[in-house]
Chain A
Amino acid sequence: MDGETYHCMGLRTKRGIFWTLILLFAGYSVMVYDQGTAHSTGEEAYTAAADRGKMVYHQYNCVSCHQIYGLGGYMGPDLTNVTTSKGRAYAEAFITGGTAKMPRLGLDRQETDDLLDYLEYVGKAGHYPVTDLETTFYGNIIPADGK
C-alpha cells in the first residue's frame, strides 16, 4: 500500500456487496437454524426436569470449569458423555460430594436430579471427543457415524 495513487471502489459497488452479504447471511442463518441443526438424537430425553437441569447448569456456572462438546472452561473434564459412559451414580458422587479440585456446590436433591437428567439428555445427543473418524485428502473429517 505504498503507492501514491489509490484506486477507489465506487459507492454503489460497496453498497451492493454489503447488502448481498447481509442477504446471504440471513438466508444461510435460516438454513442453519432449521435443516443444518434439525437432527439431534435423544430429543425425547429433553423432559421438563432436563429443562430445569439446564438452568441449574447455568446457575452454578458449571461451564466455567467444564465443557460440553469441548466448549467451556478448562479446569475440569468434558461432561458430554459422563452419564452415558461412566454412569449417573458416578456423576452424582462428584456433584454432591465435590473433590479436592471441584468445590462442593451445595445443590439440593431436586436440583441434583434435574441436573443429572440434563446431563443424560446431553449424553444421548452424540459423542465427544470424536475418536472414530476418517480424514479426507483436503483436510476435512468424516466421523464414523457419517456426520
Chain B
Amino acid sequence: MESSGTNTGLRFVLLGQLSLWAGLAFGVIGAFQFLWPGLFEWMPFFKSRPLHVSLVVAWIFSTAIGGIYHYLPRIGVPLYSERMATWHLGIFIATGLAIVGSYLAGRFGGREYWEFPPVLAIPIIVSWVMFGVNYAATVFKVKDWPVHYWMWATGILFFFITYLEANAWMVPYVRGNLVREITLQWKSYGALVGSWNMMVYGTSIFVMSQLSGNEDLPRSYTAFLLYFLGFTNLLFGWAHHTYVLPAAPWVRGVAYAVSMTELLVLAHIIRNWRSSLGVMRRMVHHRALMFIAAAEAWIFINLTLALLLSVPAVNVYTHGTHITVAHAMGSTIGINTMILLASVYFMLCPKGGELGKRWTSIGFWLTNISLLTFFVCLVAAGIVKGRLTIAEQLSHQEIMVRITPFLIGFAVSGVGILTGLSLILWDSVGRTFTRLRSEQ
C-alpha cells in the first residue's frame, strides 16, 4: 500500500482502542455488581452499564471509521477532504467526553443505549453528516465499486436512519402509543447494529482481499449475494426482538420469514469452510489472519444461536433473559472485535513482519477461551431463567438465586476477557503510538 494521507484514521483507531480498554473495565465492574449490588457505591450499576455499552460501541464505530479514513488514501483513493476528517475526529472526541461526563455525573435523559441527554444527538448528527459527505465525495470518483465500498456506504446511510428512529419517541404520535414506541425503538436498533455490522464486515472483506492479493474477491457474485442478503435482514429482520409485543401479527411473520433466510448464510459457511481455510493458508502469514479465523468461528456459533432465537416459539422463552446478552456480546466481541483487531494489526503492519510476540498470542487464546466460557454461562443462565419464568412462574428474586452460579462464571470469565484483550491492547496501543510519533 502506498503511504499517503494524514494519520486521522490512525488517531480514530487509537481512540477506539482506548475506549475498548475503558469499556472493558466498566463491563467487569457491572458483572460483579450482579453478585454484590453494593460494590462501588460511587459507580452504581445504572452508571457502569451505560458507560460500558457506550464505550465498547465507540470502539466499534471509531475503529471502523478510522479504517475507512486510513485505507482509502493508501489504495489510491485520496479523501475528498482531510480537514473534514480532522473535524470529524475533533467532534467525535468532544461528544464522547461529554457523554462520559454526563454518565459519571448521573445525568441521563435518553433511552437505552443512548441514555445521555438528548441535546448531544446534535453534534453526533453533525459529525456524521461530515463523514457521509466526505465518504461520498471520495468514492464517487471510483466507478464500479467493490462490495466493501457498498457496505461502508450502507453502514453510513443506516446510521442516519437509526438515529432518526431512535429519536422518534420525541414525537407525540409515537410516544402516545406504547406498542408503536417500543416497536420503533427496536426497529432503530436493528438499523444500528446493521450499520456497524456493514462497516465492520466491509472492513473484513477489504483486509482479506488485500492479504490475498485477490482484488476480484470483493467483486464476485457470491460477495454481492451475501451483501444483499445481509442488507435484506438489516431492513426487515429487526422485529425478532419484538415478537412478544402486542403489535399486528404480520410484523412478527415478516421478521420470522426474513430471519430464516440467514440459513443460507449458515449453509454457505459450512459448505465453504474447507476452501476458505485453504485460501487463508495460501495467504501471506499475518497476525490479522488469526483474528479473522476466530471471527469466522464466532460467526458460525452466533448465527446458529441467532437463528434459534428468531423462531418465535423459542423466543418466548429466551426473550428478556441473559441469552440476549450472550447474543449481543458473543457477536460484538467474537465477531466485531476480532475483525477490528485484525484491521488494527493490518493497518499497523501492512506487510506482516515481526508480529510474533508471545504475549499477544497468549492474549488471543485467553480472550477466545474466556469468551466461550462467558457465552456458555450466559446461555445457561438464560435457559434456566426462561424456564423458571414461563413454566414455573417464579419471582425475580428466586430466579436470581438459582442462576447465581452462572453469573459467577460470567463475571470470572469476564476477567479473563479483560486480561486477554489487555495483553493484545498493550501491544497494539504501543504500536499505534509509535507509528503516530514516527509519522509526525
Contact = CB atoms under 8 A, between A and B. Distances in A.
Given A21-B235, A141-B313, A37 B183 contact: yes
Interface string A5-37: 011110100100110010011001100110111
B251 A71 contact: no
Q: How large is the interface on B (under 10, 10 to 19, 20 to 34, 35 or more residues)?
A: 35 or more
Contacts of A18: 150, 228, 231
Contacts of B167: none
Contact of B322 (A42, A51, A74): A74
Contacts of A121: 178
Given A40-B178, A75-B45, A100 B312 contact: no
A114 interface: no
A143 interface: yes
Interface of A: 1-2, 6-9, 11, 14, 17-18, 21, 24-25, 28-29, 32-33, 35-43, 46, 51, 54-55, 58-61, 63-65, 67-78, 100-103, 121-122, 125-126, 128-131, 133, 135-136, 139-143, 145, 147
A21 B314 contact: no
A135 B313 contact: yes
A141 B243 CA distance: 9
A37 B169 CA distance: 14
A141 to B, nearest CB: 4
Residue of B50, B180, B246 contacting most chain A CB atoms (<10 Å): B246
Interface stretch (B92-100, B216-224, B419-427): B216-224
Given A65-B45, A129-B316, A131-B390, 20 more contacts: A21-B232, A32-B184, A32-B187, A37-B177, A37-B179, A37-B180, A37-B248, A38-B248, A54-B175, A58-B109, A61-B50, A63-B111, A72-B112, A121-B178, A126-B178, A126-B245, A128-B244, A139-B312, A141-B316, A145-B246
Interface string B2-38: 0000000000000000000000000000000110011
Interface string B138-155: 000000100000100000
A25 B216 CA distance: 30
25 contacts: A1-B279, A2-B275, A33-B174, A36-B247, A37-B251, A40-B179, A43-B176, A58-B111, A64-B45, A64-B46, A69-B320, A70-B319, A71-B112, A71-B185, A72-B112, A77-B396, A103-B44, A126-B179, A126-B245, A128-B244, A129-B390, A131-B393, A139-B256, A143-B246, A145-B246
B312 A141 contact: yes
Interface string B236-254: 1000011111111111111
B218 to A, nearest CB: 10
Nearest to B172: A51
Contact of B247 (A9, A37, A130): A37
A100 B397 CA distance: 12
B115 interface: yes
Contacts of A145: 246
B313 A140 contact: yes
Given A9-B224, A51-B175, A147 B247 contact: yes
B278 interface: yes
Classify the secondary structure of B's interface with A. helix
A1 B320 contact: no
A127 to B, nearest CB: 8
A61 B115 contact: yes
B408 interface: no
A63 B176 contact: no
What are the 6 A-B residue pairs with the smallest beta carbon separation, nearest first? A70-B320, A77-B396, A37-B180, A2-B275, A6-B220, A126-B246
Nearest to A55: B109
Residue of A37, A60, A70 contacting most chain B CB atoms (<10 Å): A37
Contacts of A125: 178-179, 246
B103 to A, nearest CB: 9
A108 to B, nearest CB: 16
B244 A1 contact: no
A37 B168 CA distance: 14
Residue of B112, B219, B232, B244 contacting most chain A CB atoms (<10 Å): B244
B182 interface: yes
B320 A7 contact: no
B322 A24 contact: no
Interface in B178-226: 178-180, 182-187, 216-217, 219-222, 224-225
A46 B176 contact: yes
B160 interface: no
Contact of B49 (A21, A73, A133): A73
B175 A139 contact: no
